[in-house]
Amino acid sequence: MVAVGVDAFGGPLRPLRLPVIAAGPGEVLVRVAAAAVNPADLGMVAGRYRWADEVRFPLVPGYDVAGTVEATGQPVVAFTSHKSTQRGGYAQFVTLPAELVVPLPDGLTAVDAAPLPLAGMTALQALDVLGEVDTLLVNGPRGAVGSLIVQLATARGTTVVPADSPGPVDAAVDVVGGAVARAAFDRVRDHGRYATVVPEFWIPGGVFAAERGITPRVVSVRYDRIGLMGLVEQLAAGTVTAKVGAVLPLTDAAQAHRIVGRAEAAPRVAGKIVLVP
């Protein structure tokens, strides 16, 4: 099969010819129709990511895929759980544990569904960490994760407050990091709630002072099959939308990484970049 990956950390993404891994007990072989690009993929190829075991090269990145089960033709969306499987979605086929694969209802395309798993589960778990609140600030409401947090929070009856509006809020979710994260924290009322999905921007002390009575929480996404199935149902019903910013050929994965990394020479897009083999 054709895949895209690296031969060493920091190496260039390049097309690879790799064998298709036969499905073993409890596994399924998925013919990939679409794979979403996440910021975590950039960390993988740079060597900043932590795997459960020693990394095997060549490394094929990619968390989110949609396609069909090769044995049955069943449309599916899947989370590759790369930390443990080291099987990435930037390929024509990916073999995964069956529990990571969720049926895709009629009416949803692979491109519609591919951006959902990682961003959707992150959004769900960020809201679960915060619990029930009346007002919420999301400091990147138009991005992949932020837009899903806004949609899911609104469906729960929470009022999502614009970042540039005055006044304190009950809670804030940081999906950006840096100075923007600190500004979001400043908007939270004393003894309110704050979560970030960008742990590298965690800064102890300073504006995160303990005397404000706020315990910041770092959201590290975990696989949740029931949660993913619920998100797929909402996507099919049209109650949530996973934003697609651009669709590129799989062989343009390096260009996709430049866009996600916001390199100066690359255009910016609102929503996930989806690669198609």
Burial profile 202-232: b = 16 or more Cβ within 10 angstroms, e = fewer: eeeeeebeeebebebeebebebbeebbeebb
Q: Please tell me whether residue 217 adopts helix, strand or coil conformation.
A: strand
Same domain, yes or no: 104 and 124: no
Same domain, yes or no: 107 and 210: no
Binned at pLDDT 50, 70 and 90, residue 177 comes out as confident
Same domain, yes or no: 188 and 155: yes
Same domain, yes or no: 96 and 183: no
Check which CATH number belongs to the domain holding 151 and give it: 3.40.50.720
Peptide bond into 12 cis (omega under 30): no
- Is 227 within the bounds of a domain? no
Give me the pLDDT at residue 269, please: 79
Task: Name the percent of the chain lying above pLDDT 70.
Answer: 94
User: What is the number of domains present in the chain?
Assistant: 2
| 8 Å CB contact between 85 and 93 | no
Global confidence as pTM: 0.94
**Range in 98-107, 155-164, 198-207, 225-234 with the lowest mean pLDDT:** 198-207
Check which CATH number belongs to the domain holding 256 and give it: 3.90.180.10
Task: Give the residue, 76 or 165, on which the prediction is more confident.
Answer: 76
Which residue(s) pair with 59 in the sheet? 6
Same domain, yes or no: 110 and 131: no
Q: Looking at the predicted structure, is the pLDDT value of residue 204 above 80?
A: no
Mean pLDDT of the chain: 93
Same domain, yes or no: 197 and 268: no
Give me the pLDDT at residue 181, please: 87
Note down the domain range covering 9. 2-115+243-276
Give me the pLDDT at residue 266, please: 55
Q: Looking at the predicted structure, is the pLDDT value of residue 205 above 50?
A: no
Same domain, yes or no: 11 and 87: yes
Distance separating alpha carbons of residues 175 and 104, to the nearest angstrom = 27
Same domain, yes or no: 21 and 76: yes
Same domain, yes or no: 8 and 111: yes
